[in-house]
Amino acid sequence: MSIDKTKVSILPKSFPDYEKAVFESGSQLSELDESVGALIWTAYADPEGLFKTIQENPQLEFVQLPFAGVDAFSEVIQLPVRFACAKGSYREPVAEHALMLSMALGRVLPERIKATSWGRKHADSLYDANVLIIGGGGITEELIKLLGPFRANITVVRNRQIPLEGAAKVTTLEHLDAELAMADWVILACSLTDKTKGLFDQRRFSQMKSTAYLVNIARGAVVVTEDLVLALNSGLIAGAGVDVTDPEPLPDGHPLWSAKNVIITPHTADTNAQVVRMFSLRIKQNLAAYQGKGDWVGLVDPILGY
């Protein structure tokens, strides 16, 4: 039986808005059989299941993943199938969350929320501040727009030295060390790859200003958690706001919970309601591209790993 490019399957479970996007794309939702060449895989925690599904269905030509990061699928994306992810889909709420954490840290909210006395007067402003962003994807593009009214001096570190509108400087990971010493805020918005895993360790924290803040809305493993705890408690950095941790969920009683000047949000930069609504558009776009009716969005590069 030949592949029918109007058919798509959703595994391992279906979400109503995903189904709606399939129908709106001019496709039809079907059980996975030899006539189906496109698959939407919804389980981030089951890369082995996806690997097995592709092996058992050699007719599959395209797999859409509903996650911005594909680090869990590092082996799967090496298979001879076209993969797309959701990078850029959730850029607005995640960039908003990064801005919120940055402003809260500058106004020492971790300290003030717990305070039971008047305390010290302190505030750091994003206006005219030096902001260093690690990663050059859609979240960074959106965050640069949000930082525009603050006249922030923005430097972006990314894999390739490709200019970004609104950034005063774009450089590569090889020059990260030189940029850290000048940053007032360091915001992690990169994919988790072999290059970025453990990127921020004690050595990197020691290169930051003691008055600088770290914000992580990327992946928890970009930061060595034990070293972050040490950096906070020893005053190597002024504070941190993290929406992602390693391990995740962060266990009760973990030392990071009680570290100085830290804000921890439970991976809520984008919620399920936001994700489903925004990802529906990505499904519609790429199923149209699969049928030759538009351009692909968010294709995964198996070499770069995102």
Report whether pLDDT(140) > 70. Answer: yes
- Do 13 and 131 fall within a single domain? no
61, 219, 226, 254: the catalytic one is 219
Share of the chain above pLDDT 70, in %: 99
d(CA 205, CA 230): 9
- Among 234, 190, 230, 184, residue whose Cα is nearest residue 209: 184
- Do 183 and 149 fall within a single domain? yes
96, 107, 248, 254: the catalytic one is 248
What is the per-residue pLDDT for 69?
86
204 an active-site residue? no
**DSSP string spanning 70-135?**
-GGGTTGGGSSSEEE--TTTTHHHHHHHHHHHHHHHHTTHHHHHH-SS--------STT-EEEEE-
pTM comes to 0.87
Q: Are strands 62-64 and 169-172 parallel, antiparallel or unpaired?
A: unpaired
Report the pLDDT averaged over residues 270-293: 89
pLDDT digits (tens, 9 = 90+) for 65-122: 988 889 999 999 999 999 999 988 889 999 999 999 999 999 999 999 999 999 999 9
Domain membership of residue 298 (yes or no) is no
Domain membership of residue 22 (yes or no) is yes
Vertex 279: Cα angle to 94 and 244 (nearest 5): 35
> Domains in the chain: how many in total?
2
User: For residue 133, what are the domain limits?
Assistant: 91-264
282 an active-site residue? no
CATH number at 35 reads: 3.40.50.720
219 an active-site residue? yes
